[in-house]
């Protein structure tokens, strides 16, 4: 028995002049176990009502069309047909005669396909989120290097770099330095704090670094003490902006997965896509 749950369903798929996929109702009829068009049309009409009740445009999913059939040597004649979207096929299965094994098989098929699509959508959303965070982490690493160079030009000595960068954290995190931020978030001491920030926290830190670098350059700061104070001041200003717009304060944002896990997951997903 041919059923909608087999490859036969995809083989019945057609493509119109606009590149959109559709199924012929006449071709789908026997696959769903209907020998009479009249009976099948009843299921069609019920499906149309369900489509409309759900707020969808019926003519978009159930496009009326004629189908030419052969009459032997006497020629051809046109019979009523519909061009069905995938959603329309699903609705027909849901509104078909549940006593028919073909309908039961179709309902099972679409239930599996719907769940598979949900999982694919979730995976796509996760992949997009992972890529955004990985890109932000790379940008923040570059900005950290650029800020370090600007700090050096502003007079910050190498031995004071930790103090300089910690000043930025203290301004942005309400007085907490890097080590205290780690303790608050329960991040292992040996891990890089930036590697455990989510996209929102990374963006806030990157903005703080960028604005500090620009301020050091714009105001021609050439004093180690002034440079350190500038970084802390900019951090406080960014924090104040977060408070004004009602955002989450960075010290309250939970630590994210380590960036190495994100990079590994993206690489794994890329291999699956290649396959």
Alpha carbon distance 126, 97 (integer Å): 39
Q: Is residue 30 part of a domain?
A: yes
The answer on 245 and 170 residing in a single domain is: yes
Q: Is residue 96 part of a domain?
A: yes
Whole-prediction pTM value? 0.63
The answer on 149 and 94 residing in a single domain is: no
Domain range for 92 is 8-101
Q: Is residue 106 part of a domain?
A: no
Highest mean pLDDT among 81-85, 106-110, 238-242: 238-242
Q: How many separate domains does the chain show?
A: 2
The answer on 125 and 96 residing in a single domain is: no
The answer on 52 and 172 residing in a single domain is: no
The answer on 131 and 51 residing in a single domain is: no
Q: Is residue 3 part of a domain?
A: no
Alpha carbon distance 254, 133 (integer Å): 15
- Taking 60 as the threshold, does the pLDDT of residue 74 lie above it? no
The answer on 160 and 59 residing in a single domain is: no
The mean pLDDT of the chain is: 90
What is the pLDDT at residue 5? Answer: 58
The answer on 139 and 59 residing in a single domain is: no
**Band of the pLDDT at 256, cuts 50, 70, 90?**
very high
Q: Is residue 107 part of a domain?
A: no
The answer on 131 and 68 residing in a single domain is: no
The answer on 257 and 182 residing in a single domain is: yes
The answer on 192 and 83 residing in a single domain is: no
**What is the per-residue pLDDT across 90-104, written as a single tens digit (0 to 9) for each?**
999 999 998 999 999
**Band of the pLDDT at 65, cuts 50, 70, 90?**
low
The answer on 90 and 157 residing in a single domain is: no
The answer on 135 and 46 residing in a single domain is: no
What is the pLDDT at residue 6? Answer: 57
């Amino acid at each position: 028995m041919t059923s909608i749950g087999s490859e036969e369903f995809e083989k019945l798929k057609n493509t119109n002049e606009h590149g959109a996929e559709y199924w012929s109702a006449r071709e789908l009829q026997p696959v769903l176990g209907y020998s009479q068009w009249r009976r099948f049309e009843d299921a069609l009409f019920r499906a149309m009502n369900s489509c409309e009740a759900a707020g969808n445009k019926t003519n978009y999913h159930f496009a009326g069309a004629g189908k030419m059939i052969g009459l032997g040597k006497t020629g051809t004649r046109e019979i009523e047909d519909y061009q069905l979207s995938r959603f329309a096929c699903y609705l027909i299965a849901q509104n078909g005669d549940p006593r028919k094994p073909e309908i039961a098989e179709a309902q099972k098929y679409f239930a599996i396909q719907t769940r598979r699509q949900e999982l694919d959508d979730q995976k796509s959303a996760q992949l997009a989120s992972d890529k955004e965070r990985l890109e932000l982490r790379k940008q923040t690493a570059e900005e950290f290097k650029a800020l370090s160079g600007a700090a050096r030009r502003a007079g910050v000595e190498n031995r004071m770099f930790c103090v300089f960068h910690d000043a930025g954290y203290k301004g942005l995190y309400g007085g907490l330095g890097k080590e205290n931020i780690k303790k608050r978030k329960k991040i292992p001491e040996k891990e890089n704090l930036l590697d455990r920030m989510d996209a929102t926290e990374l963006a806030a830190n990157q903005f703080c670094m960028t604005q500090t670098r620009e301020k050091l350059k714009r105001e021609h700061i050439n004093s180690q003490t002034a440079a350190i104070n500038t970084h802390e001041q900019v951090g406080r200003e960014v924090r104040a902006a977060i408070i004004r717009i009602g955002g989450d304060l960075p010290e309250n944002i939970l630590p994210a997965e380590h960036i190495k896990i994100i990079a590994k997951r993206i690489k794994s997903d890329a291999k699956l896509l290649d396959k």
